[in-house]
Structure 1
Amino acid sequence: MGFYEVVTIVLAVVILYGIKLMSSPKTAVLGNRLGALSMFVSVLVVLFYNGIADVPVLWLAVLLGAIIGYLMAMKVAMIQMPQMVGLFNGLGGGASALVALVVIFETYPEMGLFSRFTSQLALVVGWVTLSGSLIAAGKLDRRIPQQPLVIKGHNVVNALCLLILGVLVAAGSFGSAAAAVVVSVLVTLLSLGFGVLFAIRVGGADMPITISLLNSYSGLAGAICGLTIGDPLLVSVGAIVGAAGIILTGIMCRAMNRSLLEVLNGSVAAVNLAGDSLLSPAAGENGGTAESEKSLDAPSLLKEAQKVIIVPGYGMAVSQAQWQVKKLLDVLESQGKEVKFAIHPVAGRMPGHMNVLLAEVDVPYDRLYEMEAINPEFKDTDVVVVIGACDVVNPAAITAEGTPIYGMPILRVDEAKYVVVCNMDTKPGYSGVPNPLYDRPNVVLLQGDAAETVEKLTREIQ
């Protein structure tokens, strides 16, 4: 075992340790920094080990990439974070595909059968990741309609694409150098097209799962590319990213009660929900109209409450309202009230998002409760304060069959005595399904920026 292999093992272990640290809000920032530092060291090791550290254009590329990445990370709003993750996934897959393409064009006659096969496979996975991620990011950013787009014979077309790609990969592995160039171009075009077909049939509500899956694809593309060029560092790091992405995909599928096959097939399509009785509050079960909520006063409800549960969501992240939420917690506890936080697994679009934001403002970790632990307590809760959450508290997930959200486990805030909702508006969330919770007579709507509404609410109960 040489120096390069030893360094590969060390860096892989450090990256894995960084991922482990990211499993806890208290150490997540350190884990992220450790992972970023390991990747930077990996780049330097590759440059110096291969004797290309003296090539000016490479350092220019590193500098340019670092500047672009820094500016994007500083400029991007929290609401755009999933889209940026999707974009970076695509760029990772595209980079692996480009490396494989260059290797094929320049060294195909000298390549062995295994390298030829993996190079073609890297093209497929890399280009599918690129085009699929661009579609996913476009849907999350609402630049592309979020509804699943299923063309006639979609499954047949997908199957034909995979079959043809399989044939082309085989042809590119056994053919001549001239034929390999033509095959590689065809593989590139067909893979890009398949990535689009793969992603457009997924609805907006399930798109975070697709982003996570494409994250694993980007790692897989890198690992396969590493096999092509015989680089153990690229293989190990790519495999780690791929495995982490698959694990995250599984977690999100369980949290949204979706099988991966259902997500990718667009099996649960959006429907026209206008006037749907399934979305209306049932009579005798906290049902009613928005008119009846006007008699309720949120500050009075909180002053009289003894048990309060706070439900943070993506809107809290967007408005950076965690600081105001911490102040609300302090005021409520100073008044002798029992306060807990209910955390949905996919609140914020990625597992752990809410935990990290609340840890940032020193909300005690023992105040945070996962969905399974907190759901039985809602029926005994005086007031639930929902802050920037929609889909994860939408009762339509229980009643509205045939909608993208149906069957998804939710936080049962609808069972509480009173609910105060601090959301920007009453528009549907990513699922596109209206939330009937807003129309219940025991619900107070405080519309507007969550940071402002929570701050005002806190002042009024002091």
Structure 2
Amino acid sequence: MNTPAYNIFAIILVFGIVWGIKLMSSPKTAVKGNLLGAVSIFGAIILTLVGQNIVNNTVVWVSIAVGGTIGYFIAMKVAMIQMPQLIAMLNGFGGGASAFVALIALLSSDMLTGFSKFTGSLALIVGAITLSGSLLAAAKLARLMDQKPIIVKGHTIVNGLIIIALIMIIIFNTIAANGISITLLMLSIFISLLLGVVFIMRIGGADMPVTISLLNSLSGVAGAIAGFAIYNPILVAVGAIVGAAGLILTRVMCRAMNRSLMEIITGKTTMVNTKQIDPETILLEKKDEQKNTKLQKKNNEAIIKEAKKLIIVPGYGMALAQAQHLVKELAKKLEEQGKEVKFAIHPVAGRMPGHMNVLLAEADVDYEQLYELEAINPQFIETDLVIVVGANDVVNPAAITAVGTPIYGMPILRVDEAKYIFICNKDTQPGYSGVDNLLYQKENVSLLLGDAAQTIKQILECIDITAVS
């Protein structure tokens, strides 16, 4: 159906989706933006049903009701700590839905044009890759499997051969004179699912923010291509919006990590050959851990009491310990003593884009207290105390001095410039990059090692002592 009324409503709904995304860029209007986007998407579904004259199909409405109910219970039951794996799964479902639409389109008619065959085959492949890749990413994020990258011998060659095979299948399907080969379709699904697994297995947990953003983009691309295959302009537009937004975010996050996307998806960022790196450019010799494990308790109390300006730096360790509510309590108690408290957010901290923002929002931390890297970095030098909660590579000064390491050149939060630093990390082991954190060796650093929730409680006890002294 391509009537003027249909096109007008389609344009309005697409505009509603775009405007909803714009509103979600601000915490003050994010809820309204999310609601507007959801209503616009539902409106697009209804418009499609009307346009295809299937609005009276009972199965369709039952499916909508079942899907809506499942979505509601997921929203109610899933905790914020589980949000990264949920986002990964939703990306996978989007890719799977696009693949299913493409498959039905390819099998439903013997009179397909070359364009329909090409777009249908491509949507099927991209959707299947997104499905398996996203599910594997979700499994890694849920710690159902090791988060470390799995790199097998000849990994790149295998990937190359799979991609060549998929390109050949698309070509054969497009030029086939006697319709689509069922065998080739099934083969393309299998190979695409395999490529998604092979693609994600070599990416480690710390690169998951970029990976999720890329998979989100792929789910949109799959939807847009599927829209071309079934001649649905709304699906094309919405898929293109999601694809473009995801790709832009992926690009931004790669820059924040000072890595290329190709390095991340090929696992090169996880391979560190320390023999080829001049030790003098990487690390100072490890000092006696007992000397740097923890400042005297009396000193910690004095530092907290005297500090006027504080910055809290959350990281993945806060997410693992589910310590966001304790961090909120920490900030509140400090503010009650008349201290200025800010939060420094690194763009790739955690396991998904905006991971720290989501966790702190759950704890009702005022969004106005959250500062991005560029805005907060000039303020560290004037800060009396920085409290690092489960962050490692994103605050490691080695990113500035350690030439040849995976983190060299990566923009970091300049925690090292603060007067005093409390670090609430699990241990003194290197972060995901494999590079020792030079902060641990500074004399003005207090290492509060262990579960972040427990070490934050130690700081809260110090605050209580200073409040009555």
- Calculate the TM-score normalised by the size of structure 2: 0.86
Q: In structure 2, what residue type is equivalent to 1:195?
A: G
Q: Deviation of residue 8 (structure 1)? A: 1.5
Tell me what 2:28 maps to.
26
Aligned length: 458
Q: 3-state DSSP class of the match of 1:310? A: strand
1:9 matched to 2:11? yes
Which structure 2 residue ranges, 5 or more long, are not aligned?
none
Query: Retained in 2: the 8 A contact 1:279–1:434?
Result: no
CA distance in 2: counterparts of 1:350 and 1:21, whole angstroms = 20
Q: Which moved more, 1:132-141 or 1:332-341?
A: 332-341
CA distance in 2: counterparts of 1:154 and 1:190, whole angstroms = 15
Tell me what 1:130 maps to.
131
Q: Deviation of residue 6 (structure 1)? A: 1.5
Q: Deviation of residue 398 (structure 1)? A: 4.3
Tell me what 1:83 maps to.
85
CA distance in 2: counterparts of 1:222 and 1:36, whole angstroms = 17
CA distance in 1: counterparts of 2:436 and 2:186, whole angstroms = 45
Q: In structure 2, what residue type is equivalent to 1:149?
A: I
Q: Deviation of residue 227 (structure 1)? A: 0.7
Q: Which moved more, 1:175-184 or 1:314-323?
A: 314-323
Task: Encode CA deviations 1:167-193: one digit per residue, 9 max, x unaligned.
Answer: 211111121446522221121112112
1:311 matched to 2:301? no
Tell me what 1:195 maps to.
196
Tell me what 2:142 maps to.
141
Tell me what 2:102 maps to.
100
Query: Retained in 1: the 8 A contact 2:380–2:418?
Result: yes
Tell me what 1:50 maps to.
52
Change (3 A) 1:132 1:158: same
Tell me what 1:153 maps to.
154
CA distance in 2: counterparts of 1:293 and 1:75, whole angstroms = 39
Task: Encode CA deviations 1:5-57: one digit per residue, 9 max, x unaligned.
Answer: 22221111111111111212222222222222222222222223322233222
Q: Calculate the aligned-residue CA RMSD, in Å.
A: 3.2
CA distance in 2: counterparts of 1:444 and 1:99, whole angstroms = 56
Equivalent residue for 2:384, pick from 382, 385, 408 = 382
Q: Deviation of residue 122 (structure 1)? A: 0.7
Change (3 A) 1:61 1:279: farther
Q: Which moved more, 1:430-439 or 1:262-271?
A: 430-439
Q: Which moved more, 1:19-28 or 1:403-412?
A: 403-412
The residue correspondences of 1:6-405 to structure 2 (distance < 5 A) are 6-107=8-109, 109-177=110-178, 179-271=180-272, 282=284, 289-297=289-297, 298-316=300-318, 321-322=323-324, 324-355=326-357, 358=360, 367-398=369-400, 404-405=406-407
Q: Deviation of residue 322 (structure 1)? A: 4.9
Q: 3-state DSSP class of the match of 2:18? A: helix
Q: Which moved more, 1:155-164 or 1:429-438?
A: 429-438
Task: Encode CA deviations 1:114-151: one digit per residue, 9 max, x unaligned.
Answer: 11111111111111111121222222233333333333
- Calculate the TM-score normalised by the size of structure 1: 0.87
CA distance in 2: counterparts of 1:440 and 1:288, whole angstroms = 12
Q: Which moved more, 1:31-40 or 1:93-102?
A: 31-40
Query: Retained in 1: the 8 A contact 2:282–2:405?
Result: no
CA distance in 2: counterparts of 1:176 and 1:291, whole angstroms = 77
CA distance in 2: counterparts of 1:453 and 1:13, whole angstroms = 51
Change (3 A) 1:455 1:366: same
Q: Deviation of residue 92 (structure 1)? A: 0.8
Q: Deviation of residue 214 (structure 1)? A: 1.0
